[in-house]
Amino acid sequence: MKGSSMDDAVSAALSYFDSVDPALAADARLGWDGLMGVSPPAGPTQHSVQSFLWVYLRHAAEGPDRGVDIARALGELLDRLGRVGYADIARSAVTEELVRTLDDAAWLQKYRAATDQSGIGALDTELVTWQDAPTGIERVIVEKIGETLEVATIAGEFEPSRPGGRPLGANARAMRRRGVTDAVLTSDRGRDHSEAVLLEQLLDHRIELWSGYSAPRAELYLGLRDALHDAVEPMYGCVRRLETFIRCIGDGVALTDAGYLPDELVATIANTVFPPNERAREWSLRNDPEDQHVGRELDTEKILVLRRLLMRVRLLRRSAGRLVPTARTRQLSSDGLWRVLTGGIVGTGYHPDTIAAEVILARMIVGQDVSDVETSADDLARLLRAEGWTHAGEAPSPEHAEPLARTLVAELSALGAVEFSEGDRTSGSHTAGSVATEEGKRLAAAVLRHRLLHTRYPSL
């Protein structure tokens, strides 16, 4: 049923209810109006039914008892309209439990489980992590994915490939659902007037959402949009450096009693991982290949930083006094390593450490001096103050923020994402600094892009 035929059928059903039970009719009308408010123009879908009953009804009804009454009445109306499956959802124990759960944290856990169990919820994938209460274009996209999954379910896409075959396991079904989700996000059918696929439209929405948290954050993201969209395509310079480091480790290497790489391997890494101009600047290596003494790992900052970074993103690990690659490291392609790096170097948390990273990364993209930690710390302190963070009970100042900024700069330098700049001597400027390379700018944009698409934003 569509358009006027649906309206006529609803009106007839409500008239019948009114003749036998006016209270039921009133609740059914409230339920239907609420459902239509979250449904697409063509009418209710399983996704909109679940969204109304499991999310909006908790707050729209005057208490859980009224919420349950409205849900049951809507179930009766949907049943009379021939939407038996939707009616079963409205009258289910799951719906009643979610409507009656007052604690938000407990409700969220139950809601995620119910949505996952329903089979039509948009799952988190490598491309995106969904907000718990999507708004704007994100809500439209989630609805489109839900409709696509519902059609796919009816069409038997999640059934065994041959009659009588074993039912798909939970992991296989989830994998297919993620495949459908990613296909909707990247399909040409979702392009808008600017020729952007749904995923890029979602990125624009997240930029606006994130920028609304504070004026300093809006300033931070100003002018970054194009770079963030371009970062969908990887660049591999930093990845090659990590791959070479991992090859130096091989199947594993024994650490010293103090837990560091042996001096001989430190020298090998210095000569293999880092290009000659960088080696000459960082370490005084002799021309004689037999005497390439670098020193201890503890005294060789870039090597120590890279090793710790690889351990932090779980590509290397310690085992019985040895440093060894993890199981997934052996199977990673260059694209996979790029995803690990961009997703793991900062992560998706909302915390002063990750906010500091955002400030540094944004400065990299626009070509500012990342070695100017004082200016970065000042920008960071202003952002932290605007978003309500405190340091030991006081508003953050630049000296509080400076250590946070220095940590990421050291990792980016070790990755080769920044290059030394001696300033413009022709103009009389002798100020030295470090600016992002072209690959460094792409890496910075990719990390920010990952945060925008995968962070669940807190309420401020």
Identity of the amino acid at 166: R
Please state which of the ranges 4-8, 78-82, 447-451 shows the lowest mean pLDDT: 4-8
- Residues 158-182, mean pLDDT to the nearest whole number: 82
What are the φ/ψ torsions at residue 417 (nearest 5 degrees)? -80, -15
Percent of the chain scoring above 70 in pLDDT:
92
CA distance 179 to 197: 16
pLDDT of residue 285: 47
Nearest to 396 by CA among 426, 359, 421: 359
Q: Quick one: pLDDT at residue 431?
A: 44
- The whole-number pLDDT of residue 295 equals 74
Q: In 3-state terms, what secondary structure has residue 62?
A: coil
User: What's the mean per-residue pLDDT of the chain?
Assistant: 87
Confidence of residue 74 (pLDDT cuts 50, 70, 90): very high
Look up residue 196 and give its amino acid.
Answer: A
Give me the pLDDT at residue 287, please.
44
Per-residue pLDDT, averaged over 304-332, amounts to 94
Range of lowest pLDDT (105-109, 364-368, 428-432): 428-432
pLDDT of residue 43: 87
C-beta neighbour count of 422 within 10 angstroms: 10
Q: Name the helix (H) or strand (E) containing 324.
A: strand 322-325
How many CA within 13 A on the CB side of residue 85? Answer: 9
> Cβ(146)–Cβ(120) under 8 Å?
yes
Is the pLDDT at 165 greater than 80? The verdict is: no
> Is pLDDT at 429 greater than 70 in this prediction?
no
Return the pLDDT at 286: 42
Three-state secondary-structure class, residue 254: strand
- Please state the rounded mean pLDDT for residues 68-83: 95
Distances in Å between the alpha carbon of 45 and those of 25, 39, 114, 230?
22, 7, 16, 35
pLDDT, tens digit, 9 for 90 and up, residues 267-294 = 999 999 998 877 767 765 444 444 445 6
Amino acid 337: pLDDT: 96
Mean pLDDT for 46-73 is: 92
The per-residue pLDDT for 234 is 93
Q: Kindly report, residue by residue over 238-274, the tens digit of the pLDDT.
A: 999 999 999 999 999 999 999 999 999 999 999 999 9
Alpha-carbon torsion (376, 344, 419, 437), positive or negative: negative
Residue with the bigger pLDDT between 200 and 3: it is: 200
pLDDT higher than 50, residue 236: yes
Q: Report pLDDT for 373.
A: 82
pLDDT of residue 127: 96
pLDDT band at 4 (very low <50, low <70, confident <90, very high): low
What single-letter DSSP state applies at residue 345?
S
Is a pLDDT exceeding 50 seen at residue 458?
Answer: yes
Tokens for 86?
Answer: 């939707």
Q: What is the pLDDT of residue 290?
A: 47
Asked if residues 176 and 157 have their Cβ atoms less than 8 Å apart, the reply is yes
Least confident residue range of 14-28, 352-366, 408-422: 408-422
Mark out the alpha helices in 261-392 (DSSP H runs): 263-273, 276-282, 301-312, 334-344, 352-365, 373-386
Distance separating alpha carbons of residues 370 and 260, to the nearest angstrom: 29
Most confident stretch, 373-387, 412-426, 436-450: 436-450
**Closest-CA residue to 273 (of 315, 306, 301, 250):** 306
